C-alpha cells in the first residue's frame, strides 16, 4: 500500500480526473465508446453519465473490499462488480429511457470492457481509502463525460447543424455527413487531443 | 479444499449477493421494458397502416398459428360496438449492409397488397443506408400511390432510374445494397405471410 502521506487528497483526485489526467484526452482510455457514441450530444451525455455511475459504484465496492482482495482473484472481483452495475444501467435505460437505449444499442453493455473503469479500480480504488476513491470516480467520470461532450458537440454541429437537437447553424448550412461516420469520429478525436496538448504546452511555457 | 473455498469466498459471496440484486432489479424493470417494446410496435403500426394514425381506439391483436412471424391484426372500434379491420402488420428480419434489418410490414385488410413499411431496427450507414428510415426518401415508396396499394402478385424490383411500373422501386442514391435488402425482405416474406393470414382468417 502506498505511503499515506504521499496519497493525493480527495480534492486533488477529483480535479485530476477532469482535466489534468482526463481519461480520454490525456490517458487515451475508453476510446471505443468515445468514437462510437459521439455522433449526437444526447447520446454522449447519456453514455458519460452511465459510465460515471458504473465507475462510482465500482470504485465504492473495490475500495470497501480492498483488504480482502486476493492478488490472483482481483481482476475477477473487479469484473463481477463492474458487470453487475453495467447490467443495472442497461436494465434502467431499457425501462425508463427506451429510445436512448435503442440509440446506444450494444455500447451500454460494452461499458463492462471500458478500460477507464478497470484502470481506476486497479490504480486508485484498490489502493485508496473510500473518500478519495469516490472523488476519483466522480472526477474521472466527469472528465470522460466532458471529453465526450466536446467531441459530440463538434460532430453534431457539423453533421446536422444542431446541438442537442436545437438548430444552431444558419439556414442553408451544408451538413457534413462524414462527421457522423467513423472517419469523422477519428478526425475530431485527433484534433481535440491535439488542441488539448497545444493549450497545455502553451500554459506550461507561460508558467516557466 | 478448505483453503480453496477460503480463497474464493469473496468471489462466491459477491456473485450470490450481486446476482440476487440483479434478479430483483430485473423483476422490477423488465415489465416496463416489455411495455416499452409493445408501445414502440404499436406506434410503428400506427405509422404503417393507413387510417391507423387517425383511428379512435386503435387496437391490435396477435394472430396465432402463423409460423415464424409475429403477425398483428390491426383494427379499431369507433363507436365501441363494431370492429373495423384496418389491415395486418408483421415483423420480418433480414440481412442489410451493416447488419440485420428488422422491418414492420403492413398489408391491407384483404391481405393482398402492401400498404407501408417501417424500420424497427437497423445498423445501416448514417447518411446513406439509414435513409431507409426516411419517410420521403424511402418509406413513402411503399405506400399506396394514387389510391392504389402495391399488389403482392409481383415481386418488387429495385432499379436505379425513375420507375415506370408500379412494382419498380427506385434505390436510395449511394445505398443500393440497403435498398435491395429491404425489398428482398418484403419479397421473401410478404407472399408467405399473406397466404397464411388468408388461411387463418
Nearest CA to A94 out of B16, B40, B130 is that of: B40
Provide the whole-model pTM: 0.82
Q: Measure Cα distances from B182 to A163, B17, B67, B90, B138 in Å.
A: 31, 46, 21, 14, 10
> B29 contacts in A (CB within 8 Å)?
91-92, 94-96
Best mutation site among A86, A98, A121 for testing chain B: the one with the most B CBs within 10 Å? A98
Cβ of A95 within 8 Å of Cβ of B11? The answer is no
Question: What residue ranges do the domains of chain B occupy?
Answer: 46-200
Best mutation site among B36, B37, B131 for testing chain A: the one with the most A CBs within 10 Å? B36
CA distance B137 to B128: 11
Q: Where are the alpha helices (DSSP H) in A65-104?
A: 74-96, 98-104
Best mutation site among A89, A94, A101, A112 for testing chain B: the one with the most B CBs within 10 Å? A94
Cβ of B126 within 8 Å of Cβ of A77? The answer is no
Least Cα separation, residue B79 to chain A (angstroms): 33
pLDDT at A196 over 90: yes
Least Cα separation, residue A163 to chain B (angstroms): 17
A84 CB-contact burial (10 Å; exposed 0-12 / middle 13-18 / buried 19+):
buried
Least Cα separation, residue A207 to chain B (angstroms): 45
In this structure, what C-alpha cell is assigned to residue B131? Answer: 435513409
Q: Tell me if B75 sits within 8 A of B85, measured CB to CB.
A: yes
> A181 contacts in B (CB within 8 Å)?
125-127
Q: How confident is the model at residue A3 (pLDDT cuts 50, 70, 90)?
A: very low
Cβ of B14 within 8 Å of Cβ of A70? The answer is no
For residue B105, give the DSSP letter: E
Residue from the list A65, A77, A88 with its beta carbon closest to the beta carbon of B22: A88
In this structure, what C-alpha cell is assigned to residue B149? Answer: 396499394
Report the pLDDT value the prediction gives residue B80, as an integer from 0 to 100.
Answer: 67
Cβ of B121 within 8 Å of Cβ of A84? The answer is no
> A178 contacts in B (CB within 8 Å)?
127
Question: What residue ranges do the domains of chain A occupy?
Answer: 10-207
Q: Measure Cα distances from B73 to B60, B124, B142, B187 in Å.
A: 5, 29, 19, 20
Best mutation site among B18, B120, B137 for testing chain A: the one with the most A CBs within 10 Å? B18
pLDDT tens track for A127-158: 999 999 999 999 999 999 999 999 999 999 99
Cβ of A84 within 8 Å of Cβ of B18? The answer is yes
Q: What ipTM was assigned to the predicted interfaces of this complex?
A: 0.82
Cβ of A181 within 8 Å of Cβ of B18? The answer is no
Cβ of A91 within 8 Å of Cβ of B25? The answer is yes
Written as tens digits, the pLDDT of chain B (201 aa) is 788 888 888 899 999 999 999 999 999 999 999 999 888 888 899 889 888 877 777 778 888 878 888 899 998 877 766 788 899 999 999 999 988 999 999 999 989 999 999 998 888 887 788 899 999 999 999 998 888 888 888 899 999 999 988 899 999 999 999 999 999 999 999 999 999 998 877
pLDDT tens track for B75-129: 887 776 678 889 999 999 999 998 899 999 999 998 999 999 999 888 888 778 8
Q: Given its phi and psi angles, is residue B72 left (phi above 0), alpha (psi -120 to 50 degrees) or beta?
A: beta
CA distance B163 to B179: 14
Cβ of A91 within 8 Å of Cβ of B125? The answer is no
Cβ of A91 within 8 Å of Cβ of B33? The answer is yes
Least Cα separation, residue B167 to chain A (angstroms): 31
Cβ of A80 within 8 Å of Cβ of B18? The answer is yes
Cβ of A81 within 8 Å of Cβ of B15? The answer is no
Q: Measure Cα distances from B83 to A138, B43, B44, B78 in Å.
A: 56, 20, 21, 8
The number of beta carbons lying within 10 Å of the beta carbon of residue A120 is 27
> A39 contacts in B (CB within 8 Å)?
126
Residue from the list A81, A92, A181 with its beta carbon closest to the beta carbon of B29: A92
Amino acid at each position: 500500500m502506498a505511503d499515506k502521506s504521499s496519497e493525493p487528497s480527495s480534492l486533488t483526485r477529483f480535479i485530476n480526473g477532469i482535466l489534468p489526467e482526463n481519461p480520454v484526452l490525456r490517458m487515451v482510455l475508453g476510446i471505443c465508446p468515445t468514437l462510437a457514441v459521439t455522433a449526437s450530444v444526447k447520446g454522449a451525455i447519456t453514455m458519460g453519465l452511465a459510465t460515471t455511475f458504473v465507475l462510482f459504484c465500482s470504485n465504492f465496492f473495490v475500495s470497501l473490499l480492498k483488504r480482502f482482495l486476493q492478488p490472483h482473484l482481483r481482476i475477477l472481483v473487479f469484473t463481477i462488480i463492474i458487470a453487475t452495475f453495467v447490467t443495472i444501467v442497461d436494465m434502467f435505460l431499457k425501462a425508463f429511457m427506451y429510445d436512448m437505449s435503442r440509440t446506444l444499442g450494444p455500447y451500454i453493455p460494452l461499458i463492462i470492457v471500458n478500460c477507464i473503469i478497470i484502470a481506476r479500480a486497479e490504480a486508485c480504488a484498490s489502493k485508496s481509502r473510500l473518500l478519495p476513491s469516490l472523488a476519483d470516480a466522480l472526477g474521472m467520470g466527469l472528465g470522460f463525460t466532458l471529453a465526450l461532450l466536446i467531441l459530440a458537440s463538434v460532430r453534431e454541429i457539423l453533421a446536422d447543424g444542431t446541438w442537442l437537437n436545437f438548430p444552431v447553424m444558419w439556414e442553408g448550412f451544408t451538413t457534413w455527413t462524414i462527421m457522423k461516420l467513423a472517419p469523422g469520429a477519428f478526425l475530431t478525436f485527433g484534433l481535440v487531443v491535439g488542441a488539448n496538448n497545444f493549450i497545455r504546452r502553451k500554459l506550461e511555457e507561460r508558467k516557466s | 479444499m478448505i483453503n480453496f473455498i477460503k480463497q474464493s469466498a469473496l468471489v462466491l459471496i459477491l456473485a450470490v449477493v450481486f446476482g440476487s440484486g440483479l434478479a430483483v432489479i430485473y423483476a422490477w424493470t423488465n415489465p416496463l421494458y416489455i411495455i416499452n417494446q409493445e408501445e414502440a410496435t404499436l406506434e410503428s403500426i400506427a405509422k404503417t397502416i393507413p387510417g391507423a394514425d387517425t383511428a379512435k381506439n386503435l387496437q391490435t391483436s396477435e394472430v396465432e398459428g402463423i409460423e415464424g412471424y409475429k403477425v398483428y391484426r390491426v383494427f379499431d372500434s369507433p363507436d365501441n360496438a363494431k370492429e373495423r379491420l384496418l389491415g395486418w402488420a408483421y415483423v420480418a428480419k433480414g440481412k442489410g449492409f451493416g447488419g440485420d434489418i428488422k422491418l414492420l410490414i403492413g398489408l391491407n385488410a384483404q391481405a393482398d397488397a402492401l400498404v407501408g413499411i417501417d424500420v424497427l431496427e437497423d445498423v445501416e450507414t448514417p447518411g446513406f443506408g439509414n435513409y431507409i428510415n426516411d419517410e420521403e426518401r424511402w418509406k413513402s415508396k411503399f405506400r399506396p400511390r394514387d389510391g392504389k396499394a402495391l399488389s403482392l402478385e409481383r415481386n418488387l424490383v429495385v432499379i436505379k432510374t425513375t420507375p415506370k411500373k408500379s412494382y419498380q422501386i427506385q434505390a436510395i442514391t449511394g445505398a443500393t445494397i440497403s435498398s435491395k435488402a429491404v425489398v428482398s425482405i418484403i419479397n421473401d416474406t410478404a407472399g408467405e405471410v399473406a397466404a397464411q393470414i388468408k388461411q387463418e382468417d
